[in-house]
Structure 1
Amino acid sequence: MNLKELSRNLGLSQTTVSRALNGYPEVSASTRQRVEDAARAYNYTPSTRAKSLATGKALAIGHVIPVSNKHEMVNPIFGDFIAGAGETYAKNGYEMILSIVADADEQKVYESLKARRSVDGVVVHGPRMEDPRIPFLHKIGLPFVVHGRASGCRLPYAWLDVNNRSAFQRATDFLFDLGHERIALINGLEDMDFAHRRRDGYCSALQSHDCVIDTALMRSGEMTEVFGYYCTRDMLSGDHPPTAILCSSLISALGVRRAIEERGLVMGKDVSVVTHDDALSYLQNGGDVPIFTATRSSVRDAGRQLAEMLLATIADPMLPTPYRLLEAELMVGSSTGPAPRKD
């Protein structure tokens, strides 16, 4: 059934039916209820195009991914975030437009989305230090929210982030409480804001324990299993290997464990490991007892919350610029234990 047929059955104009289904206040409560009941009875769902014409909105949210970051498409963290955001979009009658673009064309794509009114807003992924996308989106007037933060950006902008600095400071303190002093950090790419904040938390904890910051125990790179493996293999082969490793990704932590076991060592006994766990749907950190001690925060829930923030901003542009800082929970698993006794 289409809108014309539904309107004819109700004896109402198509404009009235459309306005009733889209929540316009000038339609009486009794008429709106009558239209909604009929739409359910006839299993009628207005097309996105029709709703867009009725509301003046695109009813779509954009996610623009530069080619240099296309690995995010197969990253389970990105997948869980998109799933969470998608739940919120669907619940509110919005669609998602995902664009993979050449890095040099990213600003042109944002301009095109704005000019063609293809989307009502966009989500900015993977913010870097002083990220240029934030002032650019301000300039063209396209509503946006940032998944994370961009240190050095002084313009107001909407964001949702995990307290990465606090999480890694707490994780490092936890390892010190277990007697560890040689604590390594296997981080993400440190031009990414989250990795910069995690390193700051780690270094702050070392300094608070009067421990010298040893750059030989610090690595940063793409958070893959292989990266975690090679970094750990290299550090464990040194003259003064770490007794504990703090890792920025559960995926990298799997490589850390592989390198530990390859040397005939036992994770949690010979080398302790703490990682960050995004509570992923398809890569879970054990069952009732976590495999890895981890700072945990659900990236799927972050997707839901960030989408809600953006849709609220689109609905009422006069709202104060929203932001939300989530605290990670430290979950103790079997990957940590007291520091080995010195010979």
Structure 2
Amino acid sequence: MGVNLKQLAQALGISQTTVSRALNGFPEVSEKTRRKVLDMAQQLNYSPSPHAKKLATGKSKTIGHIVPQSDHMMINPLFSDFIAGAGETYSKAGYDMLMSIVPRELEEKTYYKLVASKRVDGMMVHAPLVGDTRIALLKKLNMPFVVHGRSADDDTTYSWLDVNNRRSFQRATRLLIDLGHRRIGLLNGIESMTFAQRRRMGYLETLEAHGIEAAPEIMFSEDMMEPYGYLRTRQMLSLADRPTAILCSSILPAMGSVRAIQEAGLETGRDISIVTHDDTLSFLANSGDIPMFTALRSSIKSAGKRCAEMLIEAIENPGMSPVHELWETELVLGNSTGPAPT
């Protein structure tokens, strides 16, 4: 049976920090001391622990995720897929994940607390808002961080990964217009978040470019859950001039939309077309030779993996320049779209 770091240090008669630094090759430890430590470690069958490595490097080997308290965030499959992807990358690199679920009014205080306690080496920022104050705070605290998304188009001073939401919704709206649709509803996410703001911009710009007037009564902005899609689609179907197509920000409201359309005795793709974003969820794949939905496809799990890689690179290479990645979506044709009914 081997000894731990404390026992090894006691046997040598030197501090745990010096032993740990010798074992991890730090240059400030003399070659004589290093040799002595390595020989004793071999004799006593020393097995290093994660805690020992943390002591040696002065790093916590932990990434922080501060998530505002809400009814839907923790069960939202988009968030879950991102965390699954990031978690895989952390584990491979020897990092742990610390997640704090806090009321939004305590969010800033929690950032200060985690940084001051040195419990984390870096932070992942979720769901950036327009004019997000967390970004300026993390810069001030000199804490490595990566944002999944962007707060503004000219954000070059910090690392981020984002999907080209504006172009995605331009393409989706153009597809529907090319199919003859002129009355196109929008089931968007919450527009205080920049991804949803950009999606609305892409939608509105494309309508305007084709001479189509925007109709506020068929444009909505809420949490992207199934009941939202169902209730708002029922509301649109009750209009005298109902839409012939609906553009959805996620597969969850899109499924709610389909439920409302079927209850009304209508058929998706024939009577009303649907295009959705974010359809590659781990437990709810829009797959098959011809998928159920026409969709703008981008893997949230892959984004989680890449954001984690970027953050670990920033932690392990202090002073490196910010990294920016803007991913394009793949437009996949499915059964949910067809020509506008005459």
Q: TM-score of the superposition, structure 1-length normalised? A: 0.88
**Which residue of structure 2 lines up, in the alignment, with residue 121 of structure 1?**
122
What SS does the corresponding residue of 2:60 show, helix, strand or coil? coil
- After superposition, residues 130-149 of structure 1 pair within 5 angstroms as 130-149=131-150
Offset, 1:338: 1.0
Offset, 1:48: 2.5
**Which residue of structure 2 lines up, in the alignment, with residue 247 of structure 1?**
248
Aligned partners of 1:279 and 1:285 also within 8 Å: yes
Aligned partners of 2:163 and 2:329 also within 8 Å: yes
**Which residue of structure 1 lines up, in the alignment, with residue 310 of structure 2?**
309
Distance 1:330 1:25, change over 3 A: farther
Deviation readout 1:68-88 (Å, 9 max, x if unpaired) = x35211111111100100111
Aligned partners of 1:135 and 1:155 also within 8 Å: no
**Which residue of structure 1 lines up, in the alignment, with residue 61 of structure 2?**
59
**Which residue of structure 2 lines up, in the alignment, with residue 167 of structure 1?**
168
- After superposition, residues 1-343 of structure 1 pair within 5 angstroms as 1-3=2-4, 18=20, 22=24, 44=47, 46-67=48-69, 69=70, 71-151=72-152, 156-341=157-342
Deviation readout 1:134-173 (Å, 9 max, x if unpaired) = 1111112222111111128867221111100011100111
Aligned partners of 1:278 and 1:299 also within 8 Å: no
Instruction: State how far apart, in whole Å, the 2-side matches of 1:243 and 1:280 are.
Output: 27
Offset, 1:324: 0.8
Offset, 1:24: 5.1
Aligned partners of 2:161 and 2:303 also within 8 Å: yes
Aligned partners of 2:3 and 2:46 also within 8 Å: no
Offset, 1:195: 0.4
Instruction: State how far apart, in whole Å, the 2-side matches of 1:17 and 1:56 are.
Output: 14
Instruction: State how far apart, in whole Å, the 2-side matches of 1:199 and 1:54 are.
Output: 50
Distance 1:108 1:337, change over 3 A: same
Aligned partners of 1:223 and 1:249 also within 8 Å: yes
Distance 1:94 1:268, change over 3 A: same
Instruction: State how far apart, in whole Å, the 1-side matches of 2:166 and 2:24 are.
Output: 43
Aligned partners of 1:131 and 1:153 also within 8 Å: no
What SS does the corresponding residue of 1:160 show, helix, strand or coil? strand
Deviation readout 1:54-104 (Å, 9 max, x if unpaired) = 11111000000122x352111111111001001111111100000011222
Distance 1:172 1:97, change over 3 A: same
Instruction: State how far apart, in whole Å, the 2-side matches of 1:25 and 1:304 are.
Output: 33
Aligned partners of 1:249 and 1:276 also within 8 Å: yes
Instruction: State how far apart, in whole Å, the 2-side matches of 1:130 and 1:325 are.
Output: 19
Offset, 1:310: 0.7
Moved >2 Å (runs of 4+): 1-8, 13-28, 151-155, 286-289
Moved more, 16-25 or 216-225: 16-25
Offset, 1:126: 1.0
Aligned partners of 1:130 and 1:153 also within 8 Å: no
Amino acid aligned to 2:57 = T
Aligned partners of 1:77 and 1:278 also within 8 Å: no
Aligned length: 328
Moved more, 17-26 or 57-66: 17-26
Instruction: State how far apart, in whole Å, the 2-side matches of 1:131 and 1:195 are.
Output: 14
Instruction: State how far apart, in whole Å, the 1-side matches of 2:17 and 2:53 are.
Output: 11
Aligned partners of 2:67 and 2:102 also within 8 Å: yes
What SS does the corresponding residue of 1:269 show, helix, strand or coil? coil
Instruction: State how far apart, in whole Å, the 2-side matches of 1:216 and 1:253 are.
Output: 18
Deviation readout 1:18-70 (Å, 9 max, x if unpaired) = 55875757999xx99xx9xx99xx895x4332111011111000000122x35
Deviation readout 1:219-251 (Å, 9 max, x if unpaired) = 111111111011111111101111110000101
Amino acid aligned to 1:221 = E
Distance 1:15 1:113, change over 3 A: closer
Q: Which runs of 5+ in 1 are unaligned?
A: none
Distance 1:43 1:251, change over 3 A: farther
Offset, 1:16: 9.0
Offset, 1:296: 0.5
Offset, 1:284: 1.1
Offset, 1:208: 1.4
Offset, 1:278: 4.5
